[in-house]
Amino acid sequence: MSADKKPVILFVDVLGVRSKWLSGGQPAAEAAFQEFRTLIAASMKGTVSDSLVRGVVESDSAALTFSSLLPALEAAKALYSAAFRRKHGRVWLRGCIVSLDGQDALRTSTTFSGKLKSIELNLYSKPLLEAIAVEKSGFKGMRLLVESSLITAEVRAAVKQPIGHLNFIPLCKLKAMRYPKRIDGLFVDYLWMATVERDEFDDMRSIMAVRLRGAAGDPEEFNQAAATQVVFHECGAILGSLGGKAHYRTLRDAERAGEEVTPNSTPGE
């Protein structure tokens, strides 16, 4: 089976539930869980539903399996964008996409034997344990890491966004962000916020600024927000660099052809 057709697990965790409980008690935590379930349900509807194989949603996390990487990326982008654009209540997510070997259940339930049979055991499959370990490995911010071995030429071609004669591919290793040693070199970031449409990206950056200011009163949330802001800055720098190169090429080609071109701003400026 080719890598671009290999089943995958999308694992996503809600950040900051502990802070919500400390400030608002059980009702605040329950509200966060409900918001997460609503976001999952709304984001998974539509085109990706045919590729969604199975899933498990717990209080503050979700594990969803897809037939291949592309629909998982589409679902993740929808989920992250919906959470990010919420007008009331900030939701921060962190997750990863890993390969899924076999079709075994993500989680099985059993019990101890004998006198301890009243104690339930929930056992996770090896791929799900790997996904949880990656998400808990220590990277910060509202990020989605993707197993590098899943990214084929076909995947890159499907997700590319043209900028003139160049292409922006939102799957890359970021220079400014830390990757925990255990996963460094094995995963890259999926830039779910990225778009070559300047107005849309500027809108996302404006929302990011508002969310960063709103998180200033909570040290734990502010750490996640600050890390997310760094991702936005690097994403903008990549878009700006590609846009500048494409625009320079346009000007050069026009000059050679004796045409007049009005300078335009680049997407990441």
pLDDT in tens, 187-198: 999 999 999 999
Q: Which CATH architecture has domain 3-190?
A: 2-Layer Sandwich (3.30)
For residues 126 and 255, which has the higher predicted lDDT (pLDDT)? 126
Give mean pLDDT, residues 100-118. 86
Separation between Cα atoms, residue 163 and residue 165, nearest integer Å: 6
User: What pLDDT score was predicted for residue 157?
Assistant: 97
Residue 2 has pLDDT above 80, yes or no: no
Residue 169 has pLDDT above 60, yes or no: yes
List all residues 6 or more positions away from 66 whose beta carbon is below 8 Å from its beta carbon: 7, 8, 10, 48, 51, 52, 53, 72, 75
Q: Tell me which DSSP letter residue 172 carries.
A: E
195: left (phi over 0), alpha (psi -120 to 50) or beta: beta
Element (H, E) at 223: helix 219-257
User: What pLDDT score was predicted for residue 160?
Assistant: 96
Give mean pLDDT, residues 128-142. 95
User: What pLDDT score was predicted for residue 14?
Assistant: 93
User: What pLDDT score was predicted for residue 253?
Assistant: 62
Give mean pLDDT, residues 86-91. 86
* Side chain identity, residue 96: C
List all residues 6 or more positions away from 172 whose beta carbon is below 8 Å from its beta carbon: 188, 189, 191, 238
Task: List the one residue out of 33, 68, 65, 267 whose CA is nearest residue 166.
Answer: 267
List all residues 6 or more positions away from 121 whose beta carbon is below 8 Å from its beta carbon: 109, 110, 111, 112
Look at the pTM and tell me if it is higher than 0.85.
Answer: yes
